[in-house]
């Protein structure tokens, strides 16, 4: 074979139309073999002779897309010193753009003997491990362009590629559970009708199905077990030979429908696990450069992820890997942003979480990555890892405080009203002090991890029997309420209450400042039967049901109307925190937001702190958004009045005085009795227990408008 020196960058296998350049980083190898694998697993080993700056490289003319390959790295195997090179294992290229096959559960992929872990295992792993594939960079993107929405315009739909599409009868059977299924017109039309404009896909980087799960006929359904940070997971492809092309086509189709694509990415650890894990890639290439090892015991891994290992965030190789991967997904795969799993681990350059870490510095100065959506899951399982409200500018966060507070309020937990008000207003107490804005808060009530929305109002306890872990898995603190019956019931009062509660959560999301996110299937009351940790359930427990019922139809219709209301009215999606003090002027002055008791009197400190307070009303001033649109015109909207009753009894609410508006029309009612009804200043409304009313005052031409008072900043409303 004609072998040329090639170049050390870019890393990975790069096809140029005539041949392929291969480049692999390892700082400890004594030699490296590039292994070309045929379809029948015949192996041709090519010893690389060129090494620059710890990158071994070669250019092979005639090697084209579809070529299978891997590496064998010769070097020290000394776990006590942190080194685990093992040339008997065929290793994945960390930069592989596509990966074939899956890891088999046998001893050959481990560097020790199962029956005697102290003894080396030199069995060849070829045939039992995944293979890297050369890919073509060429694709006809035509006129594809990112929708480029501002954060405050987003409604995010968290979805699983397989779970969203696997049971959809409107998708051809061979495309269900695949990227092509997500990009199919049936899926896109559904998302458009619902009104969401960004889909956040659960992990699609190539991941490993854990052997211990396969032994129990389960699987790593969620996919938080990455091994290939550049490769779309091959299990979600309808055509294993064209995984990259299929993923790109999905993104292109979603963009044509004006829907953004956000990826849930797992850069905090890999699928190689702890010191007893398999040798698949990083471990055998340069263990000490990729993984964080225990300082005084380098045979073991420092773990802040609960998975067995953590990547070494002060290693130049790791930082380059992550940044190269992020740029690749933006530049070559055209995705619009990322949600970073256990993001606190990425900020642990040393031991503590540090928002001045090298990872954040690289993100912020990067001309590509800094311009897309960046969303943190702002916690990990390590000490001091809960960092809600503490990430730097540019970042939005899954607001765990929002989730917990909203759940508490609607299940009737006492002493939550003040914090609840702050969450509705965008959580300025968490984000404003360092210059961040409401967009920093990704508001959610449910996500993949935990109860679905239906189960949140149907179960007091988790029911994870199908996971086979004796009920030890999954959270025991769900902040849920079953509305009077555990699980399925035919009691009409319980069913009606559950319907109101589901709608209450959706309505709360859509009238809150910040960025709303709903979990796929919540809009049709998807259930997991009380399983709050369905990570291993690749079956109907986790898949979205497309069977229409009276309940699913009613929930979908309400969710669609709530999203549409938010989209139509910028007063619900401000770019800035509220300002203005309604207590400083006369009756003609109105603040940007005014908090009221049910009798329409203004909230006082005593009102906020009342231990048994379960009701709230607030006025949103459509004249006082105080922001220009993209053309520089001042944004003006209708006024809105939102009434919330989380009490177990019906409560009378009084429409505020004439100065707030003469007439009000009900746009949303989670009890559905008042929709479209008109009420006037001073009238009383009997609000059903545990329900929400959203009312609009649309000013008539020439109608007098109140003076806007925006001189003083409203202090954050919270009791934390």
Q: Of all helices (H) and strands (E), which one includes residue 430? A: helix 428-431
**Catalytic hit among 377, 455, 669, 696:** 377
Instruction: Look up 341 and say whether it is catalytic.
Output: yes
Q: Please tell me the distance from the alpha carbon of residue 446 to that of residue 469, in angstroms, as a whole number.
A: 23
Q: Of all helices (H) and strands (E), which one includes residue 69? A: strand 68-74
Beta-carbon count within 10 A of 460 CB: 14
Instruction: Look up 609 and say whether it is catalytic.
Output: no
The SS3 of residue 690 is coil
Q: Please tell me the distance from the alpha carbon of residue 395 to that of residue 702, in angstroms, as a whole number.
A: 43
Q: Are 272 and 283 in contact (CB under 8 A)?
A: yes
Q: Are 476 and 537 in contact (CB under 8 A)?
A: no
Structure tokens of 473? 């898995």
Q: Please tell me the distance from the alpha carbon of residue 472 to that of residue 422, in angstroms, as a whole number.
A: 34
**Catalytic hit among 100, 210, 286, 341:** 341
Q: Of all helices (H) and strands (E), which one includes residue 373? A: strand 373-376
**Torsion, CA 106, CA 108, CA 114, CA 120, rounded to 10:** 180
Q: Please tell me the distance from the alpha carbon of residue 439 to that of residue 394, in angstroms, as a whole number.
A: 10
CA angle 200, 373, 365 (to 5 degrees): 145
Picking from 111, 120, 80, 74, the residue whose alpha carbon sits closest to that of residue 288 is 80
Structure tokens of 153? 């315009």
Buried residues in 209-227 as b, exposed as e (16+ CB within 10 A): bbeebbeeebbbbbbbbbb
| CB proximity list for 370: less than 8 A, separation 6 or greater | 363, 364, 394
Q: Please tell me the distance from the alpha carbon of residue 16 to that of residue 385, in angstroms, as a whole number.
A: 44
Q: Are 113 and 107 in contact (CB under 8 A)?
A: yes
Picking from 85, 80, 137, 145, the residue whose alpha carbon sits closest to that of residue 111 is 85
| CB proximity list for 714: less than 8 A, separation 6 or greater | 578, 579, 580, 581, 591, 592, 593
Q: How far apart are the first and last CA of the chain?
A: 68
Q: Of all helices (H) and strands (E), which one includes residue 246? A: helix 243-256
Q: Please tell me the distance from the alpha carbon of residue 164 to that of residue 171, in angstroms, as a whole number.
A: 11
Cα–Cα distance list, 481 to 229, 410, 550 (Å): 39, 9, 22
Catalytic residues: 341, 377
């Amino acid at each position: 074979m004609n072998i040329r020196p090639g170049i050390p960058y870019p890393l990975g296998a790069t096809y140029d139309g005539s041949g392929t350049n291969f480049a692999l980083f390892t700082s400890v190898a004594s030699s490296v073999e590039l292994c070309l694998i045929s379809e029948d697993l015949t192996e041709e080993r090519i010893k690389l002779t060129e090494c620059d700056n710890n990158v071994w490289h070669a250019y092979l003319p005639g090697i084209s897309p579809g070529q299978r390959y891997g590496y064998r790295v010769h070097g020290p195997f000394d776990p006590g010193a942190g080194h685990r090179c093992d040339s008997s294992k065929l290793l994945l290229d960390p930069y592989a753009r596509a990966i074939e096959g899956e890891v088999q559960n046998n001893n050959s992929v481990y560097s020790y003997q199962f029956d005697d872990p102290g003894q080396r295992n030199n069995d060849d792993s070829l045939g039992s491990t995944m293979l890297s594939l050369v890919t073509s960079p060429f694709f006809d993107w035509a006129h594809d362009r990112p929708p480029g929405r501002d954060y405050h315009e987003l409604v995010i739909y968290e979805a699983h590629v397989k779970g969203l599409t696997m049971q959809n009868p409107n998708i051809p059977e061979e495309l269900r559970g695949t990227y092509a299924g997500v990009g199919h017109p049936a899926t896109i039309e559904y998302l458009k009708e619902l009104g969401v404009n960004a889909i956040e896909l659960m992990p699609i980087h190539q991941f490993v199905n854990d052997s211990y799960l396969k032994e129990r006929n389960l699987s790593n359904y969620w996919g938080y077990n990455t091994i290939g940070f550049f490769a779309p997971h091959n299990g979600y492809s309808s055509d294993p030979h064209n995984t990259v092309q299929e993923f790109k086509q999905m993104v292109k189709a979603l963009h044509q429908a004006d829907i953004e694509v956000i990826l849930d990415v797992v850069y905090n650890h890999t699928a190689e696990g702890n010191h007893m894990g398999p040798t698949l890639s990083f471990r055998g290439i340069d263990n000490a450069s990729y993984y964080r090892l225990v300082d005084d015991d380098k045979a073991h891994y420092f773990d802040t992820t609960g998975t067995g290992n953590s990547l070494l965030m002060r290693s130049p190789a790791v930082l380059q890997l992550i940044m190269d991967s992020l740029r690749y997904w933006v530049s070559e795969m055209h995705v619009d942003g990322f949600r970073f799993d256990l993001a606190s681990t990425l900020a642990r350059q040393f031991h503590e979480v540090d928002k001045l870490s090298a990872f954040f510095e690289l993100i912020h100065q990067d001309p590509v990555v800094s311009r897309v959506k960046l969303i943190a899951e702002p916690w990990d399982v390590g000490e001091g890892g809960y960092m809600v409200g503490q990430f730097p500018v540019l970042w939005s966060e899954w607001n765990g405080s929002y989730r917990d507070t909203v759940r508490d309020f609607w299940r009737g937990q006492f002493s939550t009203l003040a914090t609840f008000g702050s969450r509705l207003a965008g959580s300025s107490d968490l984000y404003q002090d360092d210059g961040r804005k409401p967009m920093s808060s990704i508001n959610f009530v449910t996500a993949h991890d935990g109860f679905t929305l239906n189960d949140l109002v149907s179960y007091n306890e988790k029911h994870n029997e199908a996971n086979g872990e004796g009920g030890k898995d999954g959270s025991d603190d769900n902040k849920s309420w079953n509305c009077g019956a555990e699980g399925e019931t035919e009691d009409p009062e319980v069913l009606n209450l559950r319907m109101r509660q589901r709608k209450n959560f959706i309505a709360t999301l859509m009238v809150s400042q910040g960025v709303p996110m709903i979990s796929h299937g919540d809009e049709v009351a998807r259930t997991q039967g009380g399983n709050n940790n369905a990570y291993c359930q690749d079956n109907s427990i986790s898949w979205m049901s497309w069977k229409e019922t009276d309940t699913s139809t009613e929930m979908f219709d309400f969710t669609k109307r709530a999203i549409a209301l938010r989209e139509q009215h910028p007063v619900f999606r401000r770019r800035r925190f509220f300002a203005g003090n309604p207590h400083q002027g006369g009756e003609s002055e109105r603040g940007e937001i005014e908090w009221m008791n049910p009798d329409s009197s203004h909230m006082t400190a005593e009102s906020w702190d009342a231990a048994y307070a379960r009701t709230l009303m607030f006025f949103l001033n459509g004249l006082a958004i105080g922001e220009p649109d993209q053309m520089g015109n001042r944004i003006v909207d209708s006024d809105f009045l939102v009434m919330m009753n989380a009490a177990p009894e019906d409560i009378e609410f009084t429409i505020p005085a004439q100065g707030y508006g003469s007439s009000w029309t009900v746009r949303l009612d989670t009890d559905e009795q008042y929709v479209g009804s008109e009420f006037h200043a001073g009238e009383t409304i009997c609000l059903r227990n545990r329900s929400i009313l959203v009312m609009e005052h649309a000013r008539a031409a020439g109608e007098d408008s109140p003076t806007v008072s925006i001189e003083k900043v409203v202090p954050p409303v919270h009791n934390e």
